[in-house]
Chains A and B, each alone.
Chain A
Amino acid sequence: MRPTAKLFSRKTNAKREAFEAEAMPHLESLYLAARRLTRSETEADDLVQDTMLKAYRFFDRFEPGTNMRAWLLKIQTNSYINRYRRRLRERAFREGEDARPVSESMMSRGAIRALSNPLDEAQRRMLAAAIQEALDSLNESQRMLIVLADLEELAYKEIAEILGCPVGTVMSRLHRARKAMQAHLIDHAIDLGIVEPVQENEVSAAHDEGADAPVSLEAYRMAREGAQ
């Protein structure tokens, strides 16, 4: 019991206790989402504090029996959107949200297989950093989707309610967001040597051979004859 508790009425104490028991256990979840959204410790700190104070103020509006974590994440996501509305709008404008087509072909089978293989500890660590970068490379609304769906694992219906869009839109946007992340990740994985750039390799090898081979009339003639 905290020493200040006796200052408040019984009703206030009951509310405080209920809030501490029901909402506080989700603090870690909220903070994780906030950190991934804001990409900053101080901003995450402020965002979570605002969220919890709002949640406390509107605690009587929570419908018992529904998902408390989803309710808190809704408050937090809305706070985030409101707080950074200007920034979000600017980004959406600049990046032409959802305008970039998602190419399905960029995922080569080689890349898919390489990333499906067991990874050693070092590779895991490198990929973890690459995935964080991939998330940061997304636009705000895509990042929100990945955080809510893949990190917080909310149901599409809950996400749709938070973002105020139809479930079908959640599904298609989430697909885009994941593909964008995968594309970014594959680029990194190639740089890290976890995935081999199969096609590029072959192309450049053929090119190098041609450029570095000593000029040989014999070989040239044979190649020409072969072509005819």
Chain B
Amino acid sequence: MKCELIDRRIGAYIDGELDPMSMLDVERHIEACARCQEMLVFEERFRGLVRESLEGVEPPRNLKAQILSSIDSSERKAARGSLAARAAQVFVAAASLTLIVGIGLQQRALSPEPLAFHEASLSPPSLVLDEVVRIHSSALPADVRAQAPSEISHYFRDKVSFPVQPAVFDDGEVRLMGARLHPVGSRTAAVLYYEVEGRRVTVVVTDRDLPDPTGRLREGEVAYRDVGGYTLPVVKVGRLTYIFTGDVERETLLRLARSARLAR
């Protein structure tokens, strides 16, 4: 066997993945060949270096707890939802999907219409969106009460790692009420509180990439996902993601998300 052939098999030889005959062939060659002996020493050393250089990464301490708590919440949801309710959900999801696709085909060039992220059955539940629902539904008090976008931006200046520009709307009924800091995953997000016709709307601004729209959602497009009875439109602005939700109709939320502009 030639040295070149040994080079190509030496990795598999070290891994113990050659068939017994080839194993023996390689062994016999190496015993008689100084060059390939050096190669074997090197390959083994290289393997060790790779392992020791790439190891030593510890998961964040709260990862396990986060996973267990989302398992619990998915079990709770499953326990609550009766079969009929779930069938209805599927029906609604299917209906809205068709509707959106239909609109998308006709009007997409003119005005960006919401895109559903994925078929519900394929996509993993997004933990970020779950957290946004939790933030909204727990209705924690605002850290800062202010109606001027500039005051809100100022409040966040030294508290999050990105400049926060609150979303503003042409709709005069939408009022900015205040804001607070809240962790989303391992990062701090800006939570903006609005009121629309006396109902609460929450907008979370995060620099965390959402898993679902990666590659799908383009700048300025609105996508939405239904989580736990809430609709969550999502808009990407640069490297930031704006996630909307609230106690208003889906259509209202989608309309808000589509008409949102950034306060300067």
Which residues of A are in contact with B by a Cβ distance under 8 Å?
2, 4, 7-9, 12, 16, 19-20, 24, 27-28, 31-32, 35-36, 41-43, 45-50, 52-54, 56-57, 79, 83-87, 104, 109, 112-113, 115-116, 127-129, 131-132, 135, 146, 149-151, 155-156, 167, 171-172, 174-175, 178, 181-182, 185
Contacts and interface: CB of A to CB of B under 8 A. Distances in A.
21 contacts: A7-B76, A8-B76, A27-B67, A28-B59, A32-B54, A41-B60, A46-B211, A50-B211, A52-B71, A56-B74, A84-B214, A109-B35, A113-B42, A115-B42, A127-B49, A150-B51, A156-B15, A156-B17, A171-B17, A175-B12, A181-B50
Main secondary structure of the interface of B (DSSP, over half): helix
Interface string B36-65: 001101100111011111110111100110
Interface residues of B, number: 51
Given A8-B76, A132-B53, A156-B12, 19 more contacts: A24-B67, A31-B58, A36-B54, A49-B70, A53-B70, A53-B125, A54-B124, A56-B71, A104-B7, A112-B39, A116-B45, A128-B49, A128-B52, A149-B15, A150-B54, A151-B50, A167-B17, A171-B12, A175-B11
Consensus secondary structure, chain A interface: helix
A52 B127 CA distance: 12
B105 interface: no
Contacts of A156: 12, 15, 17
A90 to B, nearest CB: 9
Interface string B149-187: 000000000000000000000000000000000000111
Contacts, number: 147
Contacts of B185: 42, 45-46
A53 B72 contact: no
Contacts of B39: 112
A109 B59 contact: no
B71 A132 contact: no
A132 B52 CA distance: 11
A128 B15 contact: no
B215 A45 contact: no
A152 B39 CA distance: 23
